[in-house]
A and B are shown apart, each in its own frame.
Chain A
C-alpha cells in the first residue's frame, strides 16, 4: 500500500496548518530568546529547532540547562516528551512510501499539529497532508527561532497575545470530528482522564504517552 503524495495533499496540508503558523512563529521567537538566556548560543538554538522540531521538548531541554541541570537531565526531559512520536510514527508508518531516505526525512516532519491535521475522521492518516503541514510549520518554527535568536526580546511575550491558548484550541477542534460514535468517545474520555491523573504525579511527557494506551480499547473488536 504505497501512496503517492502528489502536490495536492501537500497543498492541502499547508493550507490546513496555516492558521497555526503565526503562533508557531511566535513560540519559535520565544524559544530563540529563552535559549540565549539559558546560555545556549544562537547557532545551537537554530540548529535545534531545525533538527529536533518539537517545541515542548526543546523548551524542556533549555529550561533544564537554564536551571544549571546537567546534559543527562535535559536530554531525558526532552526525549520523554518526544516518546509520543514513536507511537504516532508506528501508527502512520504503514501509510508512508518511497525510499528509506525519503521516509527518514519526511518522518521528521511529524509533530502533534501536522499529525493532527492529517488524521481523517476514520482514523487514517494522509502522509502527503502530514508532510505539507509539517514543512509549513517547520518554516514558521525555525524562522521564528532565527528571529528570536537575533532580535532578542524586542518582539514581546507570545503569552500576552494569548497564543498559548491557540494550541489546546487546535487540538480540540481536531478532536471534535473524531467523536462520531461510542468507541472514539470512550477513548477520548479515558485519554483525558489518564492525562489529568498523571500530570501531578509524573514528569511532563509521561501523561501524554500513558494516555495513548487508551487506544488499546480497540483490541476488543477484531
Chain B
C-alpha cells in the first residue's frame, strides 16, 4: 500500500475511534452533576482556544496577520448583535481587504 493510502487509513481509523468513544460508551447514561458542571465549561474553554489558534497561530508561531483584522471586525459585529452570517461575512471581507493592503 502506498504511503498516502496508509496515512489515509490510519488517520481515518484513529479519528473514528476518537470521535466515537463518548457517544458509543456513554449514550443514555446519566452523568454525575459535578462532571456535568465540568463538561459545561468545556464549551467556553475550547471555543476561546479555537478563536486563539484559528486567528493567531501559524504552525508553532504566534502571528498578527489579516485574520486579526477579521477577528476585530467580527467582535464589533458580535457586539452589535449581528446575525451569524453577517459576523462571518464581515470577518471574511475585513480579512481579505487587510490582506490586499
Binds B, one of A6-14, A136-144, A145-153, A213-221: A213-221
Interface size class of B (residues with CB under 8 A): 35 or more
At the interface, yes or no: A172 with Cβ under 8 Å from chain B?
yes
Given contacts A86-B18, A123-B41, A191-B48, contact A196 B4 (CB under 8 A): no
B41 to chain A, nearest CB (A): 4
Q: Does B101 contact A (CB under 8 A)?
A: no
Instruction: Report whether B84 and A173 are in contact in the complex, using a CB–CB cutoff of 8 Å.
Output: yes
Residues of chain B in range 43-85 having any CB-CB distance to chain A below 8 Å: 43-57, 59-62, 66-67, 69-71, 73-75, 77-78, 84-85
Tell me what chain A mostly uses at the interface: helix, strand, loop, or mixed.
Answer: helix
Grouping DSSP codes into helix (H, G, I), strand (E, B) and loop, the B interface class, with mixed when no group exceeds half, is helix
User: Closest chain A residue to B71 by CB distance?
Assistant: A168
Q: Which residues of B contact A171 (CB under 8 A)?
A: 47, 50-51, 54
The reply to whether B42 and A79 contact each other, CB–CB distance below 8 Å, is no
Within 8 A of B (CB), among A30-73: 39-41, 44, 47-48, 51-54, 57-58, 61, 65, 70-71
In the bound complex, what is the Cα–Cα distance between A94 and B24 (angstroms)? 9
| Residues on A with beta carbons closer than 8 Å to the beta carbon of B77 | 169, 173
Contact (A189, B48) CB under 8 Å given A90-B22, A164-B95, A216-B38: yes
Q: Which of B25, B44, B94 has a CB less than 8 Å from the CB of A191?
A: B44
CB-based closest 8 A-B pairs = A165-B95, A165-B70, A93-B22, A89-B22, A162-B96, A123-B40, A169-B91, A162-B95
